[in-house]
Amino acid sequence: MRKYFLILVLSVLSLPNVMAQKQKKPNILFILLDDLGYADVGFNGQTKILTPNLDQLASEGMNFTQHYAGAPVCGPSRAVLMTGKHLGHCSVRANPKWTKSGKPLDLDQQDVTVAKELKRAGYTTACIGKWGLGENLTTGIPNQQGFDYFYGFNSHKNAHRYYPEKVWRNDVHERIEGNITKQKKGKYITDLFTAEAKEFIKKNKEKPFYLHLAYTTPHFELTIPEERKAYYKEQNWPLREMKKGHYYHDRNGHVTYASMVTDVDRQIGEVLALLKDLNIDKNTLVIFASDNGHEYDNGKEFFDSNGVYKGKKRDLYEGGIHVPFVAKWEGKIKAGTTCNEMFTFWDFLPTACEIAGIQPTDHEIDGISYLPTLLGKTKKQKQHDYLYWEFNERKGPIQLVRKGDWKLINFIHKDRQQLFKITDDISEQSNLINQYPEKAEELRKILKEARTEHPEFPLVKKGNSK
C-alpha cells in the first residue's frame, strides 16, 4: 500500500512539470539574409550556388511562392517586418537620409515591435546581426524595442563590413580584437553572428525564446576567407572583376558571391542542428527569408538570381520585393508543402502574436496572421484585400498596389503608370494601362487611401530623380 501511495504522490508532484512542458510556448527563430534573390537558393531553382541546408529546410517545411518583403531596400523592409505596418503607415519608409530633412529616421517609442509583443507573452528575445533601425542610437536601438539581448550593427554603413573593428553588444560598442577592416583581417562577422546565436539558444533552451538572426550575407561588400572559395574556384566561371571603392570587394565576384551564400547556408545548418541536438527543434518555428531582392547580378544575370522576375533591389517590380520564404515547424507544418497565397513581411507580427496566444497591441496594423496556413487550416485563412508599397529614394517616389491578379506601379517622378495582370505576365512585360482604364482607376483610388501622410516622406519628386 505504501508503494502505491508513493507512486501516486510522485505522479501528482510531477503533474505540473508535465503540464508545463505541454503548455510551453513554441520558440520562434527568424533567419533573415540581406539582398538574397528569390532564385539564389536551390529550392527556388538555383543551379550554380549550393544551398543544401536551406533546401532541406524547404523540403521539411512550407515554401511560400508569393511572399513579399516589406520594401525593396533593407531599412524600411525591416521596419515593416518589426511593426506589422506596410509602407503607407510605417514610421520608417526609406533608408537613412532619404528623408525630407536629410536626417536618418529610426523606430520610436510609440512603435510596437514583434519583440515587444513577444516579451509581453513571456518570451526571452534577442536580435543578432544587422538591425539597421537605430542610426541615431536612441529610441530605435534593439534594447529599446523589446529585445533583451543585441549583438550586431545598429546602423547600415557599419553593416557593410565583414571584418568590422567594432560591433554593438547591447549598449556597448565592443572592439573585435585583431580585426583590421581595410585589410580584411581578423574574425569574419558571419562566424561571430552564428556563435552568438548558438550561445543564446543554449542559454534559453528551457524557456520560450524569439531570436531574430539577421545575417548581412550576401550584401556588398563581397568578401570571404580565401579557403572557403575552394569549390567555386574549380568551376572555371568567367571572371566578374569587382573594383574596390566604398566596398572592399574580393576580386572575383562570381566565386565570392557563391561562396558567401554557400557558407552562410552551412552556418544556418549548424544553428538548425543545434536545435535538434538540444531536443527543441519540434517546439521551434523556423522562418527563413531575404529582406529584399538581389543586387549582385546587375543586369548580367550570371546566377539568374530572380528567375523569371523583372528587376532587383530598389525596384517595385517583382524582382525587388518577391523574396524566398520558408517556414518549418515539425509536427505542425506538413513537410514538403507549398503555399501559393500572397503574404508579406507585415504579416509576421500578427502571426507571432497568435502563436504566443496574445492579441496585437496596435489594432491598426496592416498584417494578417498566416498561422492557419502554417497549420493547414486554409479555410480559416484571411486574405489581403490589397498590398501596398512605396519607394522614397533616388528614383522615387514610386508607389505600388497589388489587388488580386493586378498590380499598378505609379512613377511619380516620371508622371507615368504601369498596369500588369501579374498572373498572366509574371515577368511584367506588357503594360496594360491603356487597355484596362477602369481597372487602373480602381487601383489609383487604393493608392490614395492606402497611406497616411508623413512629413519626412512627402509624395513629391526628388530633386535628383531621373
Measured distance CA(410)–CA(423) in Å, rounded:
19
Largest interatomic CA distance in the chain: 89
Mention every residue, 6+ apart, whose C-beta is less than 8 A from residue 262.
Answer: 49, 50, 51, 231, 232
Q: Which grid coordinates belong to 38?
A: 528569390
CA 419: distance to chain centroid?
A: 27
Beta bridge pairs of residue 418: 409
C-beta separation of 193 from 129 below 8 A: yes
**The three grid cell numbers given for residue 354, joined into one nine-digit string:** 497568435
Nearest CA among 464, 395, 406 for reference residue 436: 406
Per CATH, the number for 25-383 is 3.40.720.10
Amino acid (1-letter code) at residue 243: K
Element spanning 75, H or E: helix 74-83
Residue 61 and residue 280: Cα distance in Å, rounded? 16
**Fold (topology level) of 389-449:** Arylsulfatase, C-terminal domain (3.30.1120)
Short-list 103, 43, 121, 29, CA closest to 359 = 121
List Cα–Cα distances, 92 to 61, 71, 98, 159, 223, in angstroms.
32, 11, 10, 18, 30
Instruction: Provide the whole-model pTM.
Output: 0.94
Cα–Cα distances in Å, from 380 out to 271, 373, 376?
A: 33, 8, 9
- What percent of the chain is helix, strand and coil (3-state, nearest 5)? 30, 20, 50
Could you tell me if 35 and 313 are in contact, meaning their C-beta atoms sit under 8 angstroms apart?
A: yes
d(CA 204, CA 25): 13
pLDDT per residue rounded down to tens, the chain (466 residues): 454 444 444 444 444 444 334 458 999 999 999 999 999 999 999 999 999 999 999 999 999 999 999 999 999 999 999 999 999 999 999 999 999 999 999 999 999 999 999 999 999 999 999 999 999 999 999 999 999 999 999 999 999 999 999 999 999 999 999 999 999 999 999 999 999 999 999 999 999 999 999 999 999 999 999 999 999 999 999 999 999 999 999 999 999 999 999 999 999 999 999 999 999 999 999 999 999 999 997 667 899 999 999 999 999 999 999 999 999 999 999 999 999 999 999 999 999 999 999 999 999 999 999 999 999 999 999 999 999 999 999 889 999 999 999 999 999 988 999 999 999 999 999 999 999 999 999 999 999 999 999 999 999 987 554 4
Burial class of residue 34 (count of CB atoms within 10 Å of its CB; 0-12, 13-18, 19+):
buried
Within 10 angstroms of residue 423's Cβ, the number of other Cβ atoms is: 9
Domain ranges of the chain: 25-383, 389-449
- Please tell me the distance from the alpha carbon of residue 360 to that of residue 366, in angstroms, as a whole number: 11
SS3 of 272, please?
Answer: helix
**Amino acid of residue 11:** S
pLDDT at 59: 98
